[in-house]
Amino acid sequence: MELVCVVPNIWGPSGDAINERHMIRMLSLHAKKTIVFTFIHITKIKAFMSDIANSNFSSSKIIVIGIPELFPSIYNVFGRIIISFIIALVLWLKSIINKEKELMIYVRSSYLALGFASLLPSKLVVKIGTLLEDEILGSSFIRLIISKAVNLCDKIILSKAKVIAVPSPLLYRDLIKRRRIAPAGYICLAPAGIVFDEIATYRRAIDTDEFKKTHIIQICFLGTLIWWQGIDILIKAIAIFKDKYPKVGERIHLVIIGDGPERSLIENLCKNLKINYEITGFLPHKDALKRLACCTALVLPRRRLSFTEAIIPIKIIEAWALGVPVVVTRHKILEMFHFKDGEDLVYCEPTPEDVANALARIIFSESLRRKLSERGPHIAKLFDYKFISEKLIKVWKANLTS
């Protein structure tokens, strides 16, 4: 088959970009040729093309076409929709001339799929990864307008696309409930994942007592510094832990891997509470994995929203693959997969007091750290993109002629 992919972004350290690179690379193993269309700010085109050319993503089988944009993505939605129609028209004409049957079109997000849904719905696979209206901040009027637009796009795609890929059953349930329309095509579960063999190379030998030797307890937060991630909760939790256990607490070093709009607020909070911290900023994916692998635990006290409840973050799967214990809010999706507290991870409520208690469990129990470290890689293998992509291809091919 031939594969055409249209995604908002495949470049950079963001979770979405990493996610799409892995997915497309694994999908491309099943295609004789893959063309990827993605969007990039015009000032970053040169760096983008250089990085892509020097990465293991671009190859003779994968052609990457960066579409320049003048403004940040939030102002380019209408332009991106027009681009999707142009690409769809070219593919539609090509399919008529060449009488192509095995053409798979993989698109991330509903609005980018509108053109393909109009002209090539039988070849279309759309990944709906989130309910976008829940991530919008601003006035109620702006949120209302965006919600209406997102609702309309999702409805069109649900009624047209051959295959809808969703990261979890919970998000699918919420999607159908809010859009009030049953999908005309087929549903495939495609959670965020990893390429296990690549990540496993960064795993250290298990040494759960290492922080006793170094006198440093490295607590890691990984992600965008934005309100729903709960980094402020973690900082307050460390302050509580230090008050309860001052001798141990003074050895805690908070490693924040990432950046974002609340960086200055986070820095001020750390300074005011006298937390020993480091903010690395956004790192290349390999460097972020290396830093995470050296930490005592990954702690993610994320606030409960529709998408945090419904999606397992890729960083949790990466921590599992690295053998790094995970502390995370008890989200519905984790309970749906039957991940157990004290065996697969450590649950917490997104409050400073409860996170402080979870930190105490991890820090004071060597046996718990060892159990979580040994169990993690076995869980991570279930989320290997090799298997996720194979399943998506199988669903698409099984319904190719229907």
Domain of residue 338, CATH code: 3.40.50.2000
Show Cβ contacts of residue 291 under 8 Å, excluding neighbours closer than 6 positions: 220, 255, 257, 280, 283
Instruction: State whether 56 and 36 are in the same domain.
Output: yes
Instruction: State whether 180 and 212 are in the same domain.
Output: no
Domain that holds residue 391: 2-193+384-398
What digits encode the pLDDT tens for the residues 344-355? 999 999 999 999
Distance from C-alpha of 259 to C-alpha of 73, rounded to nearest angstrom: 18
Computed on alpha carbons and rounded to an integer, the radius of gyration of the chain in Å comes to 22
Instruction: State whether 20 and 167 are in the same domain.
Output: yes
3-state SS, residue 302: coil
Distance from C-alpha of 63 to C-alpha of 75, rounded to nearest angstrom: 27
Q: How far is CA 267 from CA 1, 100, 250, 264, 290, in A?
A: 50, 55, 18, 5, 23
The total number of structural domains in the chain stands at: 2
Look at 26-40, 97-111, 252-266 and tell me which has the smallest mean pLDDT: 97-111
From 62, 60, 59, select the one nearest 38 (Cα to Cα).
62
Which residue type sits at 184?
A
Instruction: State whether 253 and 174 are in the same domain.
Output: no
Distance from C-alpha of 175 to C-alpha of 158, rounded to nearest angstrom: 10
pLDDT at 218 over 90: yes
Instruction: State whether 175 and 117 are in the same domain.
Output: yes
3-state SS, residue 139: coil
What digits encode the pLDDT tens for the residues 148-174? 888 899 999 999 999 999 988 988 998
Partners of 327 in the β-ladder: 299, 346
The confidence score (pLDDT) of residue 200 equals: 85
Give backbone dihedrals phi and psi of 75, rounded to 5 degrees, phi first. Answer: -95, 5
DSSP 8-state symbol, 279: E
Instruction: State whether 212 and 165 are in the same domain.
Output: no
What digits encode the pLDDT tens for the residues 118-146? 999 999 999 998 777 666 656 677 677 77
The confidence score (pLDDT) of residue 100 equals: 64
Instruction: State whether 127 and 82 are in the same domain.
Output: yes
Judge whether 253 and 276 are in contact, CB under 8 Å.
yes
What is the distance, to the nearest Å, from the Cα of residue 162 to the centroid of all Cα atoms in its chain? 24
Question: HSE on the CB side for 231, CA within 13 Å?
Answer: 29
Instruction: State whether 245 and 324 are in the same domain.
Output: yes
Distance from C-alpha of 94 to C-alpha of 87, rounded to nearest angstrom: 11
Partners of 281 in the β-ladder: 257, 258
What digits encode the pLDDT tens for the residues 169-200? 988 998 999 999 989 999 999 998 999 998 98
Instruction: State whether 274 and 394 are in the same domain.
Output: no
pLDDT at 84 over 90: yes
Instruction: State whether 155 and 72 are in the same domain.
Output: yes
Judge whether 185 and 163 are in contact, CB under 8 Å.
yes
Instruction: State whether 166 and 256 are in the same domain.
Output: no
Instruction: State whether 335 and 350 are in the same domain.
Output: yes
The confidence score (pLDDT) of residue 60 equals: 67
